[in-house]
């Protein structure tokens, strides 16, 4: 079901700079969840698209969000992400 949200979030990326800080943070949390759970290799599309439309502060927030989610994941799940795409990120 969440996979169906990926195209919607990809379209929304170009307008992310217009969101207020709280909503932008919530957007980043959701897009990072999609990156982890629904997209095989987000470094091919979502990450470049996202980084094209955000500033350095937002990039840090995205990385921080990813870090928090990874801290709560099991070792095997982290290893799977690492081998799939995370090492390129």
Whole-angstrom CA distances from 7 to 23, 32, 70, 79 are 19, 14, 24, 26
> What pLDDT was estimated at residue 84?
86
Q: Residue 18: pLDDT band by 50, 70, 90 thresholds? A: very high
Entry pTM: 0.87
Nearest to 60, CA basis, from 20, 32, 33, 88: 32
Domain span including residue 57: 2-86
**How many domains does the structure of the chain reveal?**
1
Distance CA 25, CA 58 (A): 8
Q: Each residue of 26-68: pLDDT tens digit?
A: 999 999 999 999 998 999 999 999 999 999 999 999 999 999 9
> What pLDDT was estimated at residue 86?
82
Q: Quick check: 41 and 77 in contact, CB under 8 A? A: no
What is the residue whose two structure tokens read 């099991």?
74
């Amino acid at each position: 079901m969440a996979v169906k949200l990926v195209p919607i979030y990809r379209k929304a990326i170009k307008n992310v700079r217009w969101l207020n800080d709280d909503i932008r943070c919530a957007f980043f949390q959701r897009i990072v969840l999609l990156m982890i759970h629904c997209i095989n290799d987000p470094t091919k599309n979502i990450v470049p698209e996202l980084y094209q439309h955000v500033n350095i502060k937002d990039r840090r927030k995205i990385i921080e969000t990813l870090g928090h989610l990874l801290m709560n994941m099991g070792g095997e799940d982290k290893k799977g992400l690492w081998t799939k795409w995370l090492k390129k990120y």
